[in-house]
Amino acid sequence: MVKGAPIGVFDSGIGGLTVLDEIQQLLPHESLLYVADCGHIPYGEKSPAFILERSRRVAAFFREQGAKAFVIACNTATVAAAADLRLDFPDWPLVGMEPAVKPAAAATRSGVVGVLATTGTLQSAKFAALLDRFATDVKVITQPCPGLVELIESGDLNSPALRQLLQRYIEPLLNAGCDTIILGCTHYPFLKPLLAQMLPPSIILIDTGAAVARQLKRLLDERDLLADGKPEPAQFWTSGDVPHLRKILPTLWKYPGVVRSFGA
C-alpha cells in the first residue's frame, strides 16, 4: 500500500455519499472511489448471504483498483459482511458502520431514543448487542422504514409522498417521547433538511458519518498511509442506471466526479 493510493467506499446505493462527504471534508488529500450497488437495492430486504456475496465482489474490485482502505458505508452491509471481509483481507484497513446508539444514549434528556433504520439493521444481532451494551439505561423505540431508501435513490428529497411516508415513521417516535433520533441508514442524512422542518427544534438527530471518517483517519495514520498530495477527482461506479446517477449526483455531491458502470 502507498500513501497516494485511493480509498474505496461502498454502499447499496447513493446513501454512502453522506459518508463520502465526511471523508472528503476530513481528509481532503485523499483520492476516493465509490461503488453504488443500485442494481440490487434495497439491501435491507435482502438475505445476509446475498449481501456478503455483493460486498465481496466490490471488495475484489477495489483491490484491483489498488485501494489502500475499504469503507463499508452501509449499516446493513456492515452487519452482513464486515467480519468476513476482515478475515478475507486481514492486511486491509476496513471501516464499517453501526447505528450511533452510544452517543444517542448520552445525548438524550428524556431517556427515550428513537431509531430510524432498515429492517435488516434492526433485526441484526449486532444491533441487539449495541442495545445491550449502550442502552441499558434508556428506552429505545425502533422504527423500520421500508420505502424511504427507494425514494431517496430516485432523487426525491422533498416530495409530498416522501413527507407523508416520513411523517408516518417519525410520529410513533414523537408519541413515545423520543428527544433523540438515530438516523440508522446512510441514506437518511439526506433528509436532515426535511426533518428539520417536520420535527420540533429540540429533537437531536444523530448519524455516524463523521465518526467513520475519524476512524478511517486513525487507521491510515497508524499505517503511515495518509495522503499529502493533490487528490484525483472522485470516481463513481453503479450497478444500476448510469445516466440516473449522473443526473442526480450534482445534487448530492458538490465536487467533480466521473460515473461508470459497475458490471460485476
Q: Do 89 and 107 share a structural domain?
A: no
- Give dist(CA 15, CA 143) in Å, integer: 18
Domain end (from 160, 190, 206): 206
Q: Do 202 and 110 share a structural domain?
A: yes
Q: Do 93 and 215 share a structural domain?
A: yes
Cell of 206: 444523530
Does 130 map to a domain? yes
Known catalytic residue at 185:
yes
Does 2 map to a domain? no
Q: How far is CA 155 from CA 10, 44, 195, 205, 246, in A?
A: 19, 19, 16, 22, 11
Q: Do 236 and 198 share a structural domain?
A: no
Does 57 map to a domain? yes
Give residue 44's pLDDT: 77
Give residue 239's pLDDT: 97
CATH code for the domain of 159: 3.40.50.1860
Domain end (from 190, 206, 222): 206
Give residue 33's pLDDT: 98
Digitized pLDDT (tens) for each residue of the chain, 264 residues in all: 799 999 999 999 999 999 999 999 999 999 999 999 999 988 877 899 999 999 999 999 999 999 999 999 998 899 899 999 999 999 999 999 988 999 999 999 999 999 999 888 888 888 888 999 998 899 999 999 999 999 999 999 999 999 999 999 999 999 999 999 999 999 999 999 999 999 999 999 999 999 999 999 999 999 999 999 899 999 999 999 999 999 999 989 998 889 999 986
Does 127 map to a domain? yes
Does 1 map to a domain? no
Q: Do 106 and 92 share a structural domain?
A: no
Q: Give the list of residues 6+ apart from residue 168 with CB closer than 8 angstroms, or none.
A: none
Does 139 map to a domain? yes
Does 115 map to a domain? yes
Q: Do 110 and 36 share a structural domain?
A: no
Q: Give the list of residues 6+ apart from residue 197 with CB closer than 8 angstroms, or none.
A: none
Give residue 76's pLDDT: 87
- Give dist(CA 211, CA 203) in Å, integer: 20
Rounded to 5 degrees, φ, ψ at 4 are: -80, 0
Residue 243: CB atoms within 10 Å: 9
Q: Do 79 and 12 share a structural domain?
A: yes
Q: Do 108 and 193 share a structural domain?
A: yes
Q: Do 107 and 159 share a structural domain?
A: yes
Domain end (from 166, 189, 206): 206
Known catalytic residue at 74:
yes
Give residue 121's pLDDT: 84
The residue segments making up the domain with residue 151 are 101-206
Q: What is the count of structural domains for the chain? A: 2
Q: Do 172 and 77 share a structural domain?
A: no
Give residue 264's pLDDT: 64
Which residue among the candidates 38, 145, 178, 185 is catalytic per the annotation? 185
N-to-C CA span, the chain = 24
Does 58 map to a domain? yes
Q: Do 124 and 93 share a structural domain?
A: no
Q: Do 115 and 46 share a structural domain?
A: no
Give residue 168's pLDDT: 97
Alpha carbon 7 to chain centroid, angstroms = 15
